[in-house]
Chain A
Amino acid sequence: RKEVEQDPGPFNVPEGATVAFNCTYSNSASQSFFWYRQDCRKEPKLLMSVYSSGNEDGRFTAQLNRASQYISLLIRDSKLSDSATYLCVVRRRDDKIIFGKGTRLHILP
C-alpha cells in the first residue's frame, strides 16, 4: 500500500460545478498536510495547507480527518482555470515529505 494514495482521475467536470477529491495516508504519525496544484509541464505550487479544524480559501475548502487518515479538497463554482493536477502532500514526523501521484481535473466549458 502506498503511503499517500489519490484517485488519479481524470475528473471531467462542467464549469460551475462542485468537485471533491480525497486522499488517504497510511502513516498515523504524519504531521502536516498540503494540497499542491501542478499545471501541465510546470512545477507544483502550494495551493493550501490543511489544518485540523478545516480551512477555506475562497472557493477552496480543505478538510482533515485524522481518525480515518484522509484529507479532502472541495472546489466550488469551478472555473476553466482550475484544470490541473492536484497533489496531496503529507509531512511525516521525521520531516520527510511524501507526495501523492495526483488527481487530474478537467473543467469542461
Chain B
Amino acid sequence: DGGITQSPKYLFRKEGQNVTLSCEQNLNHDAMYWYRQDPGQGLRLIYYSQIVNDFQKGDIAEGYSVSREKKESFPLTVTSAQKNPTAFYLCASSTLPGVYGYTFGSGTRLTVV
C-alpha cells in the first residue's frame, strides 16, 4: 500500500539538542511539506520541497532545517535554535499541481524535557 510514514511517533528532546524527524513516502509524489501544529491551533508551514535537492522556507522556518536528497525522503531537523519546539509535527506530500490535496503522515509528537 502506498503511503507516507513518519518516525518516531513520540520524541523527547533535551534542551540544546538537535533532533531529526523522518518522513518517507512511496506515493511517487513530487512535493513534500512539513507542518507544525500546536494545541488548539492550525497548521503552520515550516518547509516545503517540490523537487529533489531544492526546498523553500515556509512561514516559520527559523530553528529548523531540511534536506531532500531523494524524492521519497524529506527529513526535518529541529535545531537547538528553535526556542519552543514542543509541538505535533506533520509531514505531507502531494502531486504537482496539488489538485488532489495532501496526504499526511501520522505525525511526530516532540516534547522538550
User: Residue of B at shortest CB range from A104?
Assistant: B40
B109 to chain A, nearest CB (A): 8
Given known contacts A46-B101, A49-B101, is B106 in contact with A95 (CB within 8 Å)?
A: no
Q: In the complex, which residues of chain B have a beta carbon less than 8 angstroms from the beta carbon of A32?
A: 98-99, 101
**Complex interface residues of chain A between 24 and 47 (CB less than 8 A to chain B):** 31-32, 34, 36, 41-46
Question: DSSP majority for the B interface?
Answer: loop
Interface residues on B, range: 20 to 34
Given known contacts A42-B107, A43-B90, A91-B97, is B102 in contact with A101 (CB within 8 Å)?
A: no
A20 at the interface (CB under 8 A from B): no
Interface size counted on chain A using CB atoms at 8 A: 20
B87 to chain A, nearest CB (A): 12
Q: In the complex, which residues of chain B have a beta carbon less than 8 angstroms from the beta carbon of A87?
A: 42-43
A45 to chain B, nearest CB (A): 7
Measured CA separation A102–B31 after assembly (Å): 24
B41 at the interface (CB under 8 A from A): yes
**Complex interface residues of chain A between 60 and 109 (CB less than 8 A to chain B):** 87, 89, 91, 95, 97, 99-102
B21-58 vs A, Cβ < 8 Å mask (1 yes, 0 no): 00000000001010000000111000000100000000
**Complex interface residues of chain B between 87 and 104 (CB less than 8 A to chain A):** 88, 90, 94, 96-104
Interface contact A43-B106, CB-CB below 8 Å: yes
B105 at the interface (CB under 8 A from A): yes
B residues engaging A (CB < 8 A)?
31, 33, 41-43, 50, 88, 90, 94, 96-107, 109
